Homo-oligomer: A and B are copies of this chain.
Amino acid sequence: MSIPLEKLKWMYETMVKIRLYEETMVQVYMEGKNPVFNIGAGTVPGEMHLAAGQEPAAVGIGAHLRKEDTVTASHRPHHNAIAKGVDLNRMTAEIFGKETGLGKGKGGHMHLFDTDVKFSCGGIVAAGVPHAVGAALAAKMKGKDWVAVAFIGEGAANAGAFHESLNLAAVWKLPLIVVVEDNSYGISVPKAVSTAVPFNAERASAYGIAGFYVRNNDPVEMYRVSEDAVKRARLGEGPALIEIETYRYLGHFQGDPEVYRGIDEVPALREKDPIVRVKSLLVEEGVSQGELNAMETRARSAVDEAYQFARESAYPQPGAALEDVFDLAAQ
């Protein structure tokens, strides 16, 4: 196996943390939404897009990233945020709408900004890709070897912003890597109904850049492919496009009736769970059960602490709604 053991351990612990985070959110999101589901009610209101099952995309490339590298993500951002090292407490507080949140409660689950680790995301499909282009451009103009990674879904690859961004980054040879998380659906619309080619990776040739398709939601393969792409980007060799076949265990958002897929689909996907697969690899590599337990415990604690921090934090004062439209210190 060509992955350094430390990296694989980091990937495992991070995947576990992501999974626990999302599974906890499934529960927390329902608080106050029973017996009658009301999207605006409860501890965590609004839309909630969870990424349980999609961890490999986040950790496979995340293992190669540094603090100075930029990540932009989509409406389904938690796994990407966690892998980038976003402050979990403040992220969770943001999702709870608390004043201790990353955005003082103004952004919410789809709009998480952590400037310390250069993470951002947003609710408009594909709109984060141009931002990553800009971060890559800034890195290049500053003469740094930083890279920018934009995560999008396979549905987003049909948006104009995807095309424009890849062309621009290719023309300017920017250190941009676009990761397409192919979870088969854009809400209810299957990839085959929305996308003219089976693999978005094939579209890389439209920009003269390298394209990769990672099958089977495989974190190790994602790690390998990303290693190459990140290395080349740091060396100034331009952008890459990586698509990964991944699995969305939950609905598009919480509350999704999922009328568009068969009842057997998710159980079959869960059979092939990537976390289980990485765990076996670690066991094969001789990692002890004790160490595995310690990793899982650390992950669990981090998640628990984050939710507790969020719960215990205060809501912002109503008047805060009027602040932060403009930076008043400016000029």
Contact = CB atoms under 8 A, between A and B. Distances in A.
Given A205-B202, A206-B202, A171 B195 contact: yes
Nearest to A204: B206
A233 to B, nearest CB: 15
Q: Report copies per complex.
A: 2
A36 interface: no
Contacts of A194: 171
Contacts of A210: none
Contact of A171 (B166, B170, B196, B202): B196
* Interface footprint category on A: 20 to 34
Interface in A191-215: 193-197, 202-203, 205-209
15 contacts: A159-B160, A159-B164, A160-B160, A160-B164, A163-B164, A166-B196, A167-B195, A171-B193, A171-B195, A196-B208, A197-B205, A197-B207, A202-B206, A203-B206, A206-B206
List the 10 closest A-B pairs by CB distance, nearest first. A160-B160, A163-B163, A170-B196, A206-B206, A203-B206, A196-B207, A167-B196, A196-B208, A197-B208, A171-B196
Interface of A: 158-164, 166-168, 170-171, 193-197, 202-203, 205-209
